[in-house]
């Protein structure tokens, strides 16, 4: 028979690897009771099977031989992939343990009995991490988002002085229900059906888990009425609420000029202390208009404490509270719970043409309203190439382009023809300024995209970028501006809820859709 040579070849390879095969099978038993099929063939056996010639002319045996070779190749690739994955996992585990050990050394730890050196540090850290994970899971895993998730900003500085901050918890609150309803699943898949969570009637609620102790008061400059109100509010917060007060250096000078009583008021000396404000301040109170809220948000380059904005300006899209009854408002805020609007910010990077790679950028800039790219004083049209996640969007030829947050949809973007969007809608508005094209309409893009606006080399003039109306930067040919959603929103307190405050602001601030009601005594349909 023609099958004998093939059978002999398979038998010889099987005998040649009998000892190694048995050892491989005996050690391939897994914890779940199954045998790992990758270890049934040793590497030598697979190589012999791949290299063994097929003799004879039986087509069925030839097909069977080719199939066996294919299976052997697949098993070898799978075994190599498994080995590579195990090596990579071991490397990540080693880096993980070293990083954890390094973090542990930043703080004094008690050494467990019977352990010495790095093993004691790693073991102690793992035990504490398990306890912390359990604590975080109990406090926010089922109830919402806690302050340690919202206000965490990298690793703590070993040289910085630890300050006790008030903790809080954010949760979804369903309007009309007595108890808070928490639901985290945005999209669920069950029995082949895809459903989305109903979140249209839900608001975000902030509940303090410890008493707020430190408040930052920021005011609109060059206003006598604001200065008087600030002194009165600072005195009340100190005497009635026994709180620590932070103000801007300018405001502290004004208060001390009025009276030496305000010696207890604290401030900062340089930008380095400003970067640590979020570790000291529990609450921010703004006295002014929307511009004061923008200025307060720009003070925080990372996490932002909850902001209570009082209206003392001309428009109040972000300032729902009135100063006439500030005591009642602050009492309610300090007591909690209160409704919160998470206002998303854009993180912008300028990449110069001389940069060697896309990571060589200037210092990032955070904007709460919008970033604007315009033609400045040039008489030529702005020429901009726009990309969304590396996909070409369009070329802008006109006066410029606005990349706006939904909180900034009622600002410059609205004046340029963009739509008004609820501030809690996580999106980016793409609004052209006076485009030289009748079909160029504004867009609303999802929050997870990255936008890149580049000045092409054939542009006739430079472009200028401004961030929330200030910090203008020139963009020459080849320069680019990259924008994405920042991970740190600005939480602002609501008077009623985010939807009610938004509708009130566009009705009172813009007189939206205001017209005389049609007379009822006119002609009617028969």
- CB-based burial label for 212 (10 Å; 0-12, 13-18, 19+): buried
- 287 token code pair: 């006295």
How do residues 219-237 score in pLDDT, each as one tens digit?
999 889 999 999 999 999 9
291 vs 171: CA distance, rounded Å? 28
DSSP-based three-state secondary structure for 78? helix
pTM: 0.66
Q: How confident is the model at residue 1 (pLDDT cuts 50, 70, 90)?
A: very low
Q: How confident is the model at residue 138 (pLDDT cuts 50, 70, 90)?
A: very low
CB 466 within 8 A of CB 472: yes
214, 272, 260: which is closest to 238 by C-alpha? 214
Q: Report the alpha-carbon angle 293-511-414, nearest 5.
A: 60
What b/e string do you get for 94-132 counting C-beta neighbours within 10 Å, with b at 16 or more?
eeeeeebbeebeeeeeeeeeeeeeeebbbebbeeeeeee
- 461 token code pair: 């003039």
How do residues 30-67 score in pLDDT, each as one tens digit?
443 334 444 444 555 555 555 555 555 567 777 777 78
Name residues whose C-beta falls within 8 Å of residue 104's C-beta, 6 or more positions apart in sequence: 121, 122, 124, 125
How do residues 406-453 score in pLDDT, each as one tens digit?
999 999 999 999 999 999 898 999 999 999 999 999 999 999 999 999
Options 282, 290, 374, 468, the catalytic residue: 290
Sequence-separated contacts (24+) of 328-332 with Cβ below 8 Å: 329/495, 330/237, 330/241, 330/285
DSSP 217: E
- CB-based burial label for 11 (10 Å; 0-12, 13-18, 19+): exposed
The whole-angstrom distance between residue 247's C-alpha and the CA centroid of its chain comes to: 28
Average pLDDT score over the chain:
78
Helix H or strand E segment including 89: helix 59-104
Q: Confirm whether 290 is a catalytic residue.
A: yes
pLDDT of residue 119: 53
260, 219, 261: which is closest to 236 by C-alpha? 261
């Amino acid at each position: 028979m023609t099958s004998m040579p093939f059978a002999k070849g398979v038998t010889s390879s099987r005998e040649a690897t009998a000892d190694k095969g048995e050892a491989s099978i005996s050690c391939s038993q897994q914890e779940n009771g199954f045998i790992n099929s990758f270890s049934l063939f040793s590497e030598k056996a697979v190589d012999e099977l791949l290299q063994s010639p097929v003799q004879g002319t039986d087509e069925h045996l030839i097909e069977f031989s080719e199939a066996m070779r294919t299976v052997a190749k697949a098993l070898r690739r799978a075994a190599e992939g498994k080995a590579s994955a195990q090596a990579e996992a071991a490397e990540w585990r080693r880096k993980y343990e070293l990083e954890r050990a390094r973090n542990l050394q930043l703080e004094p730890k008690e050494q467990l009995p019977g352990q010495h050196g790095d093993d004691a540090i790693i073991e102690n850290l793992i035990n504490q991490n398990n306890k912390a994970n359990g604590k975080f899971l109990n406090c926010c895993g089922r109830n919402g988002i806690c302050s340690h998730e919202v206000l965490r900003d990298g690793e703590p500085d070993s040289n910085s002085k630890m300050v006790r901050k008030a903790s809080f918890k954010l949760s979804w609150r369903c309007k009309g229900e007595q108890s808070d309803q928490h639901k985290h699943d945005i999209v669920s898949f069950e029995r082949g059906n895809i459903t989305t969570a109903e979140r249209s009637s839900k608001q975000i609620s902030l509940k303090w888990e410890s008493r707020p102790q430190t408040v930052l008061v920021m005011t609109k400059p060059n206003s006598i009425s604001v200065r008087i109100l600030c002194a009165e509010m600072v005195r009340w917060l100190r005497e009635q609420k026994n709180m620590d007060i932070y103000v801007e250096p300018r405001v502290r000078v004004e208060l001390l000029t009025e009276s030496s009583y305000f010696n207890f008021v604290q401030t900062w000396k340089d930008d380095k202390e400003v970067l640590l404000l979020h570790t000291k301040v529990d609450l921010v109170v703004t006295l002014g208009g929307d511009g004061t809220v923008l200025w307060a948000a720009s003070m925080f380059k990372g996490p932002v404490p909850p902001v209570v904005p009082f209206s003392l300006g001309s428009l109040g899209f972000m300032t729902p509270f009135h100063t006439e009854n500030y005591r009642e408002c602050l009492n309610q805020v300090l007591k909690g719970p209160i409704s919160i609007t998470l206002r998303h910010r854009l993180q912008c990077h300028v990449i110069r043409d001389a940069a060697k790679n896309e990571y060589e950028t200037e210092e990032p800039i955070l904007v709460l309203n919008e970033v604007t790219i315009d033609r400045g004083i040039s008489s030529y049209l702005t020429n901009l190439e726009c990309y969304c996640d590396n996909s070409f969007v369009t070329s802008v030829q006109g006066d410029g382009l606005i990349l706006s947050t939904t909180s900034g949809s009622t600002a410059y973007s609205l004046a340029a023809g963009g739509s008004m969007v609820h501030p809690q809608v996580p999106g980016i508005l793409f609004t052209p300024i006076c485009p030289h094209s009748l079909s160029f309409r504004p867009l609303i893009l999802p929050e997870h995209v990255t936008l890149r606006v580049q000045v092409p080399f054939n542009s006739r003039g430079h472009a200028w970028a401004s961030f929330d109306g200030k910090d203008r930067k020139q963009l020459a040919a080849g320069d680019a501006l990259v924008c994405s959603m920042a991970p740190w929103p600005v939480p602002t307190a609501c008077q009623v809820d985010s939807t009610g405050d938004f509708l009130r602001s566009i009705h009172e601030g813009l007189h939206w859709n205001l017209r005389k009601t049609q007379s009822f005594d006119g002609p009617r349909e028969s």
